[in-house]
Structure 1
Amino acid sequence: MNGNNLKPTSASEKPAMGRGDWRTQLRSDLRQRIVNKMFDTMKRHLRSSGEDELNELRKTVEAFEEKTYNAASNQFDYVRRISLKLLQKETQSQNIVQNSGQCSNNLHNPGIRDQ
């Protein structure tokens, strides 16, 4: 993938026989929507959002989607893998927020400690 243009899988990148049929049925605009959703989700969790960081994030998301697309055995597997990654990121971010809140509470209430 390059930028916002998702390129089709080349002949050298085609999966093993019997696994490729689902890919021909998946529209490229759907893949782009998935990349955009992943990008938006990941962007919310960036501490810095300068142009360089956003460009690097977009490239990372596109590479992850491409790798997932090529590795998935069917469309369900493709969506499952991406969903799990997004859920993992959301959970990770929630844990960071909760942990920073605990640190903040301990700073405001020095007599209270985690047990």
Structure 2
Amino acid sequence: MIIKKQELEKSMDTLKSHLPISGPEGLHELRKIVERFEEKIYSTATSQMLTMETKSFNATTNSLPSNSAGHNKKSPNDKKSPTRKKALRSK
């Protein structure tokens, strides 16, 4: 996953203003924390969107009319239909 550098820098600046960070090791550790945090946010948001999309798809699918009304009649080309059997016997 690619996190935009601007987003990382903004989060880094926010945390630097609230936490006592010193030296390059402190900045490196802070960057790792921010990257993990951003990844968790992205992962959670993606998962929630997928869940909403799935629920929406299922709701749409369930609201479609069923094929039971008027579609049970067999076509003459159906091998099991009485019309088809009768036509085959007369040949």
TM-score, normalization by structure 1: 0.38
Greater relative CO (CA pairs within 8 A, separation 6+): 1
Higher radius of gyration, 1 or 2: 2
